[in-house]
Amino acid sequence: MAQRLFLILTSGTREKLQMAGMIAAVAAATGAETSVFLSMNALPYFVKGAMVSAPAEGPMGRLMEEKNVPPFVELFKQAVALGTARLYPCSMAVDVMELTPGDLDPVLEKPLGLTRFLTEMEDSQVLTF
């Protein structure tokens, strides 16, 4: 596995968020430096008091809910707890949503701009969801 993994999340669907959460947790468990950029439709799930269940894109998403698969937000929190993952809210999305630092889940880092996040990705594995 890559020593540095960057995930860009813009989707708000259960399947994509779940897969990204699983990848982040496994990468962090293996010691890979993992950075997650939360923007567009993914960011609202990391606002305090937000719903933790995203709409299903297809049958697998509905099945995951029926089978009580651990929520994707918990997977991301586990990745951070392991010590090698960082979750960065997109500064533009934070501004558009008119959020304050107190509105964001405390597991998140300070908002980061896309330019800075892209600059950090050089020579790393990048996945988008």
pLDDT band at 1 (very low <50, low <70, confident <90, very high): low
> What radius of gyration do the chain's Cα atoms show?
14
Tokens matching residue 120: 């950090």
> For the chain, which domains are there?
4-128 (3.40.1260.10)
Task: Say what the pTM is.
Answer: 0.93
pLDDT in tens, 77-125: 999 999 899 999 999 999 999 999 999 999 999 999 999 999 998 888 8
In this structure, are residues 39 and 114 in contact, taking their beta carbons and an 8 Å threshold? yes
Q: Count of CB atoms within 10 A of residue 34's CB?
A: 27
End-to-end, the C-alpha distance of the chain in Å comes to: 19
Spatial distance between the Cα atoms of 90 and 108, rounded to a whole number of angstroms: 11
pLDDT in tens, 57-83: 999 999 998 998 989 999 999 999 998
Tokens matching residue 127: 């996945």
